[in-house]
Amino acid sequence: MEYIYIVAVKKTGQNLGVEAMDQLALKKFESSGKIDFNLDEEAVDEILGKDAYCGGDIPEEVLLKLEEAMAKNISPSFYWEDEALANAFGDHMVELGCEVEITQEEKSDWNKSWRKSFSEIVVTNDLKVVPSWEMGEDSSQEVYIYPGMGFGTGNHETTYLCLKIFSELRETWGEDLECLDFGCGSGILGIAAMKQANARVDFVDIDKDALDNCLMNLNSNSYQNYREGHGLILRDRYQVKKPYSLVFANILENILLEEYSVLKNSVLNEGHLIVSGLLSGQEKAIIEAYVDFNLLKTETRGDWVALLFQKA
């Protein structure tokens, strides 16, 4: 039987902010992800008061207000599939003066409860990420995803940022876009490029299970109706044969630094690279290291940052 180990930080110690805690959990202790909060309509109304909305999409500025309010009331929680790492993080938090609660859930039960909490993500009026169990007739404005558990954690915000940058620039690439989704996970970014920019996409990940999930999502999005030639490639088999006009790399800071030469060689001259998976402050090291690129744009959401580069 497989389990998920959840560490909830009930009370933080002195001088330990959200960003520092995220870095400890996600980077030093290799957490599988951070658990986002999800709210029903009554909870939204209670927090927003006179700003509450009945039905329809909540504007982004109101969502940000909601997130700020919730951050004051929600215990940060992280999860692991490795019990030893979860316990090590919990012990470290106690040493820093925090109060923690560690729980164990069967992986099958966790998957069921996680699925109930996942709802669509509205990037723009023309681009949404929709759970595959809520899909209707295929639409290029909707990316249908049966997300792996890493989605809906801290990576949720970085995915949003990458898609926001992409949506603002999608007219740039014309009809023959060649795209690489490096560290693709469930394939959201590459599928968005496939559906909205008629891109041919190579999906690369270190994890075979991620590529299996990506293939499932490609099928959900009727990839046969779009451009042919997409590839699913394990990282250790990936070799740059021809550079791409657009590369997504939504991965952690240390991997972005380690994979710099590969990413540099994967981007066509004057092509674009959208980078995320960065906590606030970590972008400085990436900007300094990515010397063959010009920084065009920085986007932030909560504690997370995404960068748009163009190869010089």
- Is residue 253, in this structure, part of any structural domain at all? yes
In this prediction, residue 55 has a pLDDT band, given cuts at 50, 70 and 90, of: very low
- DSSP structural state of residue 153: S
**Cα dihedral 169→171→175→180 (10° resolution):** 10
- Is residue 205, in this structure, part of any structural domain at all? yes
Residues 72 and 215 in one domain: no
- Is residue 68, in this structure, part of any structural domain at all? yes
Longest dimension (CA), the chain: 56
Query: Which CATH number belongs to the domain containing residue 249 in this structure?
Result: 3.40.50.150
β-bridge pairing 200-205 and 231-234:
parallel
Higher pLDDT, 30 or 68: 30
- Is residue 126, in this structure, part of any structural domain at all? no
Which tokens is 94 given? 């106690």
In this prediction, residue 297 has a pLDDT band, given cuts at 50, 70 and 90, of: very high
Number of domains composing the chain? 2
In the predicted model, what is the mean pLDDT of residues 116-129? 81
In the predicted model, what is the mean pLDDT of residues 72-91? 83
Residues 180 and 299 in one domain: yes
pTM of the complete model beyond 0.85: no
Domain stops at, among 114, 138, 170: 114
CA separation for the pair 18, 68 (Å, rounded) = 12
Which tokens is 140 given? 């290029």
Query: Which CATH number belongs to the domain containing residue 92 in this structure?
Result: 3.30.70
Domain holding 34, by residue range, is 3-114
- The CA–CA distances, whole Å, from 8 to 31, 102, 152 equal 12, 6, 16
Residues 166 and 48 in one domain: no
pLDDT at 261 over 90: yes
- Is residue 123, in this structure, part of any structural domain at all? no
Averaged confidence pLDDT in the chain = 82
pLDDT in tens, 138-160: 788 899 988 665 454 445 788 89
The helix or strand, by DSSP H or E, that contains position 160, with its residue range, turns out to be: helix 154-169
- Of 20-24, 200-204, 273-277, which gets the smallest average pLDDT? 20-24
- Is residue 128, in this structure, part of any structural domain at all? no
pLDDT at 69 over 80: no
Residues 27 and 100 in one domain: yes
Other CB atoms within 10 Å distance of the CB of residue 260: 17
- Of 47-56, 123-132, 167-176, which gets the smallest average pLDDT? 47-56
- Is residue 122, in this structure, part of any structural domain at all? no
State the pLDDT at residue 42: 55
Domain stops at, among 114, 137, 167: 114
Higher pLDDT, 229 or 19: 229
Residues 80 and 189 in one domain: no
